[in-house]
Amino acid sequence: MKPSIFITRKIPEIAVQMLREQCEVEMWDKEDIPVPVEILREKVKTVDGLYCMLSDSINKEMMEEAQNLKVISNLAVGYNNIDIQAASEKGIMVTNTPGVLNEATADLTFSLLMATARRIPEASDFVRNGEWKSWSPMLLTGQDVFGATIGIIGMGRIGEAVARRAKGFNMNILYHNRSRKEQAEKELGATYVSLEELLAKSDFVVLLAPFTEETKNLIAKKELEQMKETSILINVARGGMVNESDLYDALVQKKIWAAGLDVFEQEPVPLDHPLLTLPNVVVLPHIGSASIKTRITMSEVAASNMLQALNGQVPSDLVNTNILTR
Ligand code: NAP
C-alpha cells in the first residue's frame, strides 16, 4: 500500500506529481483559504506524511493524536510553526527547505531596505493620489544606502547573501550572532560586534535570525532606544522577534526613522494594526522567498524530503537530527 500524504495548500504541480508517483496524495486546493484547523487535525490523525506551510501551526496535541505520522515536511526554512520537541518525542521527522531560498530572500530584504530608505511606496502613492504639484529640493527625501552601515542580526545563509549585496553598495557590514563566523568576516569584510554596538552604530538593523525562545522580543523598547534616530529596522525573519507596540512608540516618538516589515506577530496583520497607520513603515505580506523559480524549487525540495523520509532514508534537510540516535 502506498503511504498517504496530506498537503495543506495548493503547491506547484511538479511537486504534486513527484509525490503522486509514490504516495496517495490529498491536497487542500483552495488558493486563498488555509485549511481549517479541525480538518488539519483530522488529517494528521491518519496520514503518514504531512506537507505543510509556515502558516500551519503543528502543535503537540495534534501530534499526540497522530497514529501513523512519520514526517512533517515544512515548505519554509523557518520551522517555528512546528513543536519540534513534541515531534522528536513521537519519533516524527521534521524537514525544512534551507539554502534554495537564500538569494530570493536576500533580494527581497534588500528591496525592502531600499524601499524603506528611499520611501518608494509613499512616493508612488504621492504620484497616484495627485499630490505631485511641483519638484522641490527636500520633497520625499530619504536615507542614503550606498556607503551606509548595515548591522545584520543573524549572519547565516540569508544574512551572508544580504551582506554580499551590501558589499556591492560599499556598506560597512556589522553582524551579531551567538558565535563568530570568521569565514564571513574574511570573505565579506564583516565585523563581529555585540548586539549593543550593532544597534548603536547601524544605519540599517536587519533581522535574519531564527525565531526561538531566545530571539522572541529581541527588539523591544530598550533596543530601539539604543538605535540612531536616523536608523531603519528591517525585519524579514519572524514577527515575534520585534515588540510591535514598542516599535510603534519608537516610530511615533522618532526614536528611529523608519521600519520595513515583511513579517508580523499575527499574520495576516490585522488591518487596524497601529503600525499600518504610519507612513514611515513599509509593509509586505511575508513574501521573502516569493520568486516563481524559488517557490517551485522549494516545493520540490519539500517533496523530496518527504519521499526520502517515507522511503526509510534520512531526509537531506532533517531538522530534528536528534531522533536518529533514538
Ligand atoms: P541560518 O542559516 O540558520 O542563519 C541564522 C543565523 O542566526 C545563524 O547564523 C545563527 O548564528 C544566528 N542566530 C541564531 N540565534 C541567534 C540569536 N539568539 N542571536 C543572534 N543570532 C542568532 O538561517 P537562514 O536560512 O539564514 O534563515 C534565517 C531565518 O530567516 C529563518 O529562520 C526564517 O525564520 C527567516 N526567513 C524568512 C523568510 C521570509 O519570507 N520573510 C524567508 C526565509 C527565511 P548562531 O547560531 O551563531 O547564533
163 with 212, same domain?
yes
52 with 125, same domain?
no
238 is annotated as an active-site residue? yes
Here the CATH number for the domain that contains residue 218 is 3.40.50.720
Q: Which atom from ligand 1 is nearest to the alpha carbon of 214?
A: 18
Q: So what's the pLDDT on residue 12?
A: 97
Q: Which residue out of 238, 244, 295, 300 is catalytically annotated?
A: 238
164 with 75, same domain?
no
Closest residue by CA, ligand 1 atom 48: 178
Task: Dig out the grid coordinates for 244 from the structure.
Answer: 510591535
Four-point Cα dihedral 280, 242, 318, 324, nearest 10: 180
61 with 167, same domain?
no
Angle at 200 between CA 194 and CA 204, to 5 degrees: 100
**Pairing relationship of beta strands 204-207 and 281-283 according to DSSP bridges:** unpaired
Each residue's pLDDT expressed in tens, for the chain with a length of 326 residues: 999 999 999 999 999 999 999 999 999 988 788 999 999 999 999 999 999 999 999 999 999 999 999 999 999 999 999 999 999 999 999 999 999 999 999 999 999 999 999 999 999 999 999 999 999 999 999 999 999 999 999 999 999 999 999 999 999 999 999 999 999 999 999 999 999 999 999 999 999 999 999 999 999 999 999 999 999 999 999 999 999 999 999 999 999 999 999 999 999 999 999 999 999 999 999 999 999 999 999 999 999 999 999 999 999 999 999 999 87
User: Which residues constitute the domain of residue 53?
Assistant: 4-98+292-325
- Total count of domains within the chain: 2
Of 71, 73, 111, 62, the residue nearest 93 (C-alpha) = 71
Å from CA of 212 to ligand 1 middle: 10
Q: So what's the pLDDT on residue 294?
A: 98
85 with 128, same domain?
no
242 with 300, same domain?
no
Of 169, 77, 176, the residue nearest 118 (C-alpha) = 169
193 with 307, same domain?
no
Q: At what angle do helices 102-117 and 292-310 cross, to 10 degrees?
A: 140
253 with 300, same domain?
no
Q: So what's the pLDDT on residue 169?
A: 98
13 with 157, same domain?
no
193 with 66, same domain?
no
151 with 199, same domain?
yes
267 is annotated as an active-site residue? yes
Q: So what's the pLDDT on residue 237?
A: 98
The residues that bridge with 205 in the sheet, in sequence order, are 151, 233
Ligand 1 pocket (Cβ < 6 Å) reads 77-78, 98, 101, 105, 153-159, 176-179, 208-211, 214-215, 236-238, 262-263, 286, 288-289
Closest residue by CA, ligand 1 atom 32: 210
First to last CA, the chain: 27
Closest residue by CA, ligand 1 atom 11: 177
Closest residue by CA, ligand 1 atom 39: 288
Q: So what's the pLDDT on residue 31?
A: 79
134 with 196, same domain?
yes
